[in-house]
Chains A and B, each alone.
Chain A
Amino acid sequence: MRLVTRNRHVKVYVPLDTSAVAAGADAVAAAFADAGAEVVRNGSHGMSWAEPLIEIDDGGRMAYANVAAADVPDLVAQRGGHPKCIGPTADVPYLARQTRAVFDRAGEDAPLALPKSTVLADCLEQAPEAMIDTIETSGLRGRGGAGFPAHIKWRTVFDTPGEQKYIVCNADEGDSGTFADRLLMEGDPYRLVEGMTIAGLATGATKGYVYLRSEYPIAARIFQAALANAYDAGLLGTDILGSGKAFDLELFIGAGAYICGEETSLLESLEGKRGEIRVKPPVPAIAGLFGQPTLVHNVISYACVPAIMTNGGDWYANLGVGRSTGTMAFQLAGNVRRGGLVEVPFGITINDLVYGYGEDTRSGRPVRTVQIGGPLGAYLKPEEFDTPLTYENMMALGAGIGHGGLVVYDDSVDLAAQARYAFEFCEVESCGKCTPCRLGAVRGKETMDAVIQARGEGRAAEDKLAMIDDLCEVMETASLCQMGGMTPIPVTSAIKRFPEDFRP
């Protein structure tokens, strides 16, 4: 059996990213190669629920979901008639409904194929101030968690004198429920290279580092190869595209520490030290890596830059709602039928994400809560799911969008166990530099254990719950960084919204 139509070899796309490989994509790719197909290992489109999602291109790309190697013979024979066919890729509603400004190239081609992009050449001719103005007009805010306006940092780095300024990318992606950084680095690594290079040109920084967590070996391999290609193509180095302007970029792999996602801890680690938090001020934009002015952003923040520079700041600002401009790469995770990456303008509701895109829980039981914004994020109630997702609306709920992860839970969840876990995670990952966090996490976990034990014995441990309240207040106000400072958010949001789980 040969996969040839009208004497043409048919192209088959089988993603090589972690979500596809973890679902068996390598064996599927091998089976298609055996069948005589030309196999392209592309990035993922972000429809994690369908991985391995393969496409057969025979004059138009048709998508097939959850393909196993054993399906390949039938799939080749039946094509569109095969039950795993979900129609032309571009028409799959999950993708067709999205507005992709960052992930528009991801999944299209092999991640290492150099794209035809002219944005860098355009930026090489612009004055730094003009680029910073464009970022200001766009209203771009950091996607790493805090949502701080990007242009303020850019201008600070530009204005602060320094012998060697740096561009640092935070690819530590430690938040549970998030995988957008990984998808981008594995699916469109040049987007990040472009974004960081432009940031360097705009701020006067000629050296950059990507700090990647060690849990992402496939992303490391792809990105490292992309860097080599970018140097070969003259996109990086001492004479970018013949302009005489320089930008060097290096990949740095972490060694397993959630706290190294916090920017000052990350900088310590990048300097080769223990990843302990630095006291702020000074902020990194003034004194960052080796005390030099340093721009630190998340992967997705940098990856937003090429689209903004291509289409203009106004175009970006017109997407989204109010001061939450542009698109957000939401990540649907946990107990949801169709989890994956959903890039849409701010303002979408949790309902639309969880039910519209996610099509309800995977278990078939009712949704009880969604934790938004990672392990330091709040647990919300279904009654709140019709709130349009903006930074402002989430703040009003005592929650945050964070890095855009939504973890869905069905009604079997025990919020007391989740609150205990929040303390436990803080205990495991605390850098240990300050007492409220280091000791608070341990005390919190023990106290929560007592609450859970009392509940099992039919008692309500109101005194213990009061202690947790006090403890949370201390952690919130006296911790040196947001690790200790925000651990109370999942705890108190759970206690406040689901009091029945903490009592018999």
Chain B
Amino acid sequence: MPESDHSRTALTRMIAARHLNRVGGVLQALREVVLEQGHIERADEHVVANVFNLSQAEIRGIVSFYHDLKTSPQPPVTVKVCQAEACQAVGGRAFTERVEAHLGVELGDANERVALEPVYCLGLCAQGPSMMVGQRPVARADQCDLSHEIGT
């Protein structure tokens, strides 16, 4: 096994161990693997299954259920554009198309620089259309300079 794989599984093992005795620890551990390592690999699933004494199938079932538990490498930036009703009511669909054109990426797709994802409400429903760039929320996103807010 290459060096980097070793350090990857070591980190995952550490994360899993930290959550072992917490309520809902498996899910929290998997969330943290994504936060720390970007996504969940088969090897991570093995490790988490081992630490929590669960079957691979159980871990797979959990991972496949939640939108946040990514199983493929993610580009450095994720842009989430709200697709829900309150944003639709203020031009959210047109705004989404603008972002698609700006990034050259369709909603639900990614290139090597950026992933463009739908999100269903960011709690900014009085200030739509809204989006989230990484962990940064943006209100009235239709009025912002896209190059400035998200780069290209």
Name which of B67, B121, B123, B132 has the most chain A CB atoms within 10 A of its CB. Answer: B123
Q: B58 → chain A, closest Cβ, in Å? A: 8
Q: What B residues does A421 contact at CB under 8 A?
A: 85, 88
Whether B36 is near chain A, meaning CB under 8 Å from some CB there, is no
Q: Which of B87-138 contact A (CB under 8 A)?
A: 87-90, 119-128, 130, 132, 135, 137-138
Whether A51 is near chain B, meaning CB under 8 Å from some CB there, is yes
User: Contact size class for B?
Assistant: 35 or more
- Docked-complex contact A176 and B23, CB < 8 angstroms: no
Q: Which of A258-281 contact B (CB under 8 A)?
A: 258, 269-276
A274-B61 contact given A19-B127, A22-B139, A362-B90, CB 8 Å threshold: yes
- Docked-complex contact A178 and B123, CB < 8 angstroms: yes
Inter-chain CA distance A485–B138, complex, in Å, is 34
Whether B38 is near chain A, meaning CB under 8 Å from some CB there, is no
1/0 per residue, CB under 8 A from A, across B28-51: the answer is 101100000000000000000000
- Docked-complex contact A252 and B23, CB < 8 angstroms: yes
Q: What A residues does B79 contact at CB under 8 A?
A: none
- Docked-complex contact A209 and B66, CB < 8 angstroms: no
Whether B77 is near chain A, meaning CB under 8 Å from some CB there, is no
Whether A302 is near chain B, meaning CB under 8 Å from some CB there, is no
Q: Which of A143-189 contact B (CB under 8 A)?
A: 173-179, 182
A255-B86 contact given A18-B123, A175-B121, A274-B61, CB 8 Å threshold: no
Partner of B121, one of A21, A209, A215, A289: A215
A214-B68 contact given A252-B24, A255-B31, A418-B85, CB 8 Å threshold: yes
- Docked-complex contact A21 and B84, CB < 8 angstroms: no
Q: How many residues of A contact B (CB 8 A)?
A: 63
Segment at the interface with B among A104-112, A382-390, A405-413: A405-413
Q: A342 → chain B, closest Cβ, in Å? A: 10
- Docked-complex contact B28 and A272, CB < 8 angstroms: yes
Please, could you name 24 A-B residue pairs with CB atoms under 8 Å apart, sorted by A? A18-B122, A19-B123, A21-B137, A23-B140, A176-B86, A176-B87, A177-B86, A214-B68, A215-B121, A217-B135, A253-B31, A255-B30, A255-B68, A269-B27, A272-B26, A274-B61, A334-B125, A362-B90, A375-B85, A375-B120, A407-B85, A407-B89, A418-B88, A431-B65
The 4 closest A-B CB pairs, nearest first, are: A339-B126, A256-B67, A176-B84, A333-B125
Given A176-B125, A421-B88, A425-B120, 16 new contacts (CB under 8 A) = A19-B123, A22-B138, A23-B139, A173-B123, A177-B86, A178-B123, A214-B68, A254-B66, A255-B27, A269-B24, A272-B25, A272-B62, A276-B65, A333-B128, A375-B84, A405-B125
